[in-house]
């Protein structure tokens, strides 16, 4: 399989999508979504990443963000995934979740549980129109999937922030 090139440091916003392992609905519970948001805030602050939009779906995540120059975004997304994975797998172990069996894989000769697929989709947003298009895509995704009737009904996206609501899980940065 050909390895896709990843271009960092382009001075562009990025649209990132990554999935739970085998697209299992591991983000279905509110606790999982809150864990992800908490870790996104940590990573965002640590690396000074601007967040323009997002949607947390039951089995995948969309982010529209702007990394600072010099940041290796793939490594940072890996850290975000690792933080959430550790928390959620520990929670599942404590609850003795039967789902853990489905999350077992062998990597490096060791059997481990994995929460996320290994790769992510990364699209460079070269214009403000594309940034807005990707944010709109995030907001429509829960409606298209039939999870809600209207984007404002899905609290796990940036839609309500853009409506001017203060009670949102995470605030967005101004688009430059």
Q: Is the pTM of this model over 0.95?
A: no
Which range is least confidently modeled, 1-5, 114-118, 143-147? Answer: 1-5
Question: Any idea where the domains of the chain sit in the sequence?
Answer: 13-162
How confident is the model over 46-69, as a mean pLDDT? 97
DSSP structure string for the chain: -PPPP----SS-EEEEEEEBGGG--TT-SHHHHHHHHHHHHHHHHHHT-EEEEEEE-SSEEEEEEEPPTT--HHHHHHHHHHHHHHHHHHHHHHTT-GGGGGGEEEETTEEEE-SB-S--EEEEE-SHHHHHHHHHHHHHHHHHTTS-SSGGG-SSBSHHHHTT-S--SSPPPPP-
The CATH number given to 13-162 is: 3.30.70.1290
Which range is least confidently modeled, 43-47, 91-95, 120-124, 172-176? Answer: 91-95
């Amino acid at each position: 399989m050909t390895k896709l090139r990843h271009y960092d440091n382009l001075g562009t916003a990025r649209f990132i999508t990554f999935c739970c392992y085998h697209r299992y609905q591991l983000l279905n519970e509110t606790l999982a979504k809150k864990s992800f948001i908490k870790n996104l805030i940590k990573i965002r602050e640590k690396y000074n990443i601007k967040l323009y939009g997002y949607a947390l779906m039951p089995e995948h995540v969309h982010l529209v963000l702007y990394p600072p120059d010099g940041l290796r975004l793939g490594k940072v997304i890996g850290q975000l995934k690792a933080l959430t994975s550790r928390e959620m797998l520990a929670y599942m172990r404590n609850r003795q979740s039967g789902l853990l069996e489905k999350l077992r894989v062998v990597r490096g000769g060791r059997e481990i549980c994995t929460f996320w697929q290994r790769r992510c989709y990364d699209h460079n947003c070269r214009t403000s129109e594309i940034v807005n298009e990707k944010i709109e895509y995030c907001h429509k995704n829960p409606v298209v999937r039939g999870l809600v009737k209207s984007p404002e009904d899905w609290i796990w996206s940036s839609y309500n922030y853009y409506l001017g609501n203060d009670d949102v899980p995470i605030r967005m940065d101004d688009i430059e």
